[in-house]
Structure 1
Amino acid sequence: MKVRERIEEQEFKILSTYAAKSREAVRDREEPLCDFRTAFQRDRDRIIHSKAFRRLKHKTQVYISPGDHYRMRMTHSLEVAQISRTIARGLRLNEDLTEAIALGHDVGHTPFGHAGEYSLRELIGHYNHNEQSLRVVEHLERNGQGLNLTAEVRDGILNHTGDNIPFTLEGSIVRRGDRIAYLCHDYDDGIRAGMLKPTDLPPVVSRVLGSDPSTMITVMVADIITESEDKNEIIMSARVKAAMDEFRTFMFGKIYHSAELEPDRKKAKYIIRKLFEYYISNPGSLPQEYLEREERWGLQTVVIDYIAGLTDLYAIKQFEKLFIPATWGVPK
């Protein structure tokens, strides 16, 4: 028996009846099976080795061009994976599927965090990072061939946010894990940046969740495991969910929509807008691999693909190269 087959057998013996099973995973394009890794393990590995995932280490989570100790998109994704795997293990669901979804959920994020996302949305009328994440893994990676991920992982990536619920419980875990991660870790970064103090929290939040980020995560994770055990849905108790919702409202007011960060958000949106206008008017300046896709997807789509894939610093450098005059040396 191959290693993969042994793992697949163990899933049926150990995991919950509600868990997604690797043996039943479906791909759009059939391919030879690996002797050692299950389908979901291969998906996780493909995401980790993708260019889009590597770029996340230079993409903003909340703060534009932050210091070394602040979260970036890659650290956020790793933290979502850790939180989500803990929940999955507690519920005897598929950890490999959960991890793959968590690691891939933000690969379509723009530079400058949600400021970049909102800027593209204003420019073209519709842009959502979860849809772009799906586009990245389906069409843009591997020189346009995509990663050929399983339907379970692609569904979880697409539906980690938005109105639709993933069709696997593992995908629903990542929806919860993503929110837990960004609230607690952006709160932690807000304290480090001097924008927040634990005493600023609404009373219901500190009373139910605590005021330390680690404690908050523990309370919410434990609540999900306790409330969801032996159920075909991922839920929270009314008490903890109400506190979490209040925490989210607090974070939007104090951090995500804060006046203090608005100047940097405006600058970021301006950079995105000017790059978009430039490449639409000068498509020949795009890298060759994007020009080759124009006939299939149209100019606007390939420009969006290019800009969305930029890291924060590279977007700033491109803006400087295109719009800021070079500094000339002073003659001696």
Structure 2
Amino acid sequence: MPVVDYAATNAPPLPYPHELAPYATDATTSRGRFHPEPPSAVRTAFQRDRDRIIHCAAFRRLTYKTQVFVYHEGDHFRTRLTHSLEVAQIARTLARSLRLDEDLAETIALAHDLGHTPFGHAGEDALNAAMAEFGGFDHNAQSLRIVTKLESRYANFDGLNLSWETLEGLVKHNGPLLSPGEADVTKANLPHAIAVYCTEHDLELESYAGAEAQLAALADDIAYNNHDIDDGLRAGLLTLDQVTEVPLVGRLIRAVQGEYPDIARDRLIYEVNRRLITVMIFDLMEQTRRRLADLAPRTAEDIRRAREPVASFSDQMLTEIAELRAFLHAELYRHPRIAGTMARAKTVLSELFHHYMDKPEDLEPGWREKAFQSASKDRARCVCDFIAGMTDRFALHMHGRLFDGRTELR
């Protein structure tokens, strides 16, 4: 049987399902990969990136990583994995409507939370405090570290060797990290992993990312604001009376109740949730179209060099989203049940970090050897990488094993 060349160098450019706008990020003109590879005969560069992310171990671990509720709270609440899938669906819809590369938008959405620790932002706070004298911890920088260094799947390189545009979007989806003219990444106030990587591979941190990455970032906002309301209501931590007081949500609740006076509570929650997502998506699409019309970009580089992002909500929607976020912070994220669980989670990760620093022989095989071969600062980063990659349940299992008991957050 002849050997099939799955990465044929003479493959013609693959057609897009729709005509791209001139300012879209075009996979056929990608800046390539840090480690050169021949193109695929059946996938664009960004489709290939997406598939590498879906198949990597860090993506699978998102199944048991906290979004708001720890895994033992129930099977129906969002996890980091289901959240990432929701973000990807919204990002893809937005990109298609604006004639952008929907594969790139989806790829960045799927990768954006790879660097999250167990127990969500509480875990990030714990690791950042533990790593204070060793360069700190930032989940966005950890996502870059995972896809460029920690994943070890390929024979010729560490990481996933993603396209420049995907890495740019992963790092800069929330905007530039450097001021114009601030070129020395080693002297800038950057997360450790980003500064280290960009000394070898310039991701142009002083400019915006392409429009696809900007939309992926706002798709994240749409997804978590909506599903946190949904999960909070279904968990009984929020009431319909409470969320009705939030102007944006209250209007939709009253509209649904007006159309369906006898609607059951669960159906009401779902109907309001899907309408809220739709309202946010259409506002974002229309405002982004207005900004694109004003900027009149001819290329993706025009969007990168712009003075402000092209993807945005309207001013009114920004105000209403800010009100919604303030409500969620006050009533859900700081709810005694959530706050108590997260406080215990911080203790678990802090104790794991200090234990492994004192006794690296207790690390898992592979990590143990890396820790013993490293100086103190590098050992700390090794321990941090190990803990950050844990799922919620594995962190609790390891804590219970090391501290002679069954660790619970209940």
TM-score normalised by the chain length of structure 2 = 0.74
Task: Report SS of the residue matched to 2:39.
Answer: coil
Pairing 1:298–2:378 present: yes
Partner residue, 2:209: 167
Is 1:92 aligned with 2:129? no
Q: Aligned runs of 1:184-223 on 2, under 5 Å?
A: 184-201=226-243, 202-206=245-249, 212-223=272-283
**Aligned residue type for 2:279:** V
How many angstroms apart in 1 are the aligned matches of 2:218 and 2:140?
A: 15
Q: Quick check: 1:182 aligned with 2:229?
A: no
Cα distance between partner residues in 1 of 2:215 and 2:12: 26
Matched with 2:28 is 23
Aligned residue runs from structure 1 range 58-73, under 5 A: 58-65=64-71, 66-73=73-80
Question: Which amino acid in structure 2 is aligned with residue 217 of structure 1?
Answer: I
Distance (whole Å) between structure 1 residues aligned to residue 332 and residue 43 of structure 2: 41
Cα deviation, 1:90-131, whole Å, max 9, x if unaligned, reads 111110001110111111110011110111111112211111
Identical columns (%)? 40
- Write the letter of the residue equivalent to 2:152: R
Note the 1:1-332 alignment, pairs <5 A: 5-8=12-15, 10=16, 14-25=19-30, 26-65=32-71, 66-125=73-132, 126-142=136-152, 145-161=158-174, 164=177, 166-201=208-243, 202-206=245-249, 212-229=272-289, 231=292, 232=303, 233-294=310-371, 295=373, 298-325=378-405
The structural deviation recorded for 1:257 is 2.4
Evaluate the alpha carbon distance shift between residue 3 and residue 240 of structure 1 in structure 2; reply closer, same or farther with a 3 A threshold.
Answer: farther
Cα distance, 1:299 vs structure 2: 0.3
Q: What are the ranges of 5 or more consecutive residues in structure 1 without an aligned counterpart?
A: 327-332
CA contact (8 A) 2:246 2:323 kept: no
Task: Work out the CA distance in 2 between the residues paired with 1:2 and 1:199.
Answer: 61
CA contact (8 A) 2:174 2:214 kept: no
Structure 1 residue runs of 4 or more that deviate by more than 6 Å after TM superposition: 1-4
Q: Is the 8 A contact 1:110 1:117 kept in 2?
A: yes
Deviation at 1:27, TM superposition (A): 1.2
1:229: how far off? 1.9
What residue in structure 2 maps to residue 330 of structure 1? none
Q: CA deviation at 1:169?
A: 0.6
Larger radius of gyration: 2
What CA distance in whole angstroms lies between the structure 2 residues aligned with 1:163 and 1:186?
Answer: 28
In 1, Cα distance between the equivalents of 2:285 and 2:391? Answer: 36
Instruction: List per-residue Cα deviations over 1:120-177 (Å, max 9, x = no partner).
Output: 1111122111110110001000167100011211122223447647411111011100
For 1:329, the equivalent position in structure 2 comes to none
Cα distance change on mapping 1:35 and 1:124 into 2, 3 Å = same
SS of 2:77's equivalent in the other structure is: coil
Q: Is the 8 A contact 2:356 2:363 kept in 1?
A: yes
Contact 1:130 1:161 in 2 (8 A): no
Which SS does the other structure have where 2:162 is aligned?
A: coil
Cα contact 1:209–1:243 (8 A) shared by 2: no
**Cα drift, residue 63 of structure 1:** 1.1
- Amino acid corresponding to residue 401 of structure 2 in structure 1: K
Q: CA 1:173–1:30 in structure 2 vs 1: closer, same or farther (change >3 Å)?
A: same
Which ranges of structure 2 fall in alignment gaps of 5 or more residues?
A: 1-7, 178-206, 254-268, 293-302, 304-309
Range with bigger deviation, 137-146 or 195-204:
195-204
Give the AA of the match of 1:279: Y
8 A Cα contact 1:108 1:134, kept in partner = yes
CA RMSD in angstroms, aligned pairs only: 2.3
Tell me the distance in 1 between the aligned counterparts of 2:37 and 2:52.
Answer: 14
Cα distance in 1, alignment partners of residues 22 and 329 from structure 2: 38
Question: Higher helix fraction: Structure 1 or Structure 2?
Answer: 1
TM-score (norm 1): 0.91
Q: Which amino acid aligns with 2:284?
A: I
CA distance in 2, matches of 1:255, 1:325: 30
Q: Is the 8 A contact 2:233 2:239 kept in 1?
A: yes
Task: Give the letter aligned to residue 234 of structure 1.
Answer: A
User: Deviations 1:44-64 (Å, cap 9, x if unpaired)?
Assistant: 000000000000001111112
In structure 1, give the amino acid aligned to 2:276: M
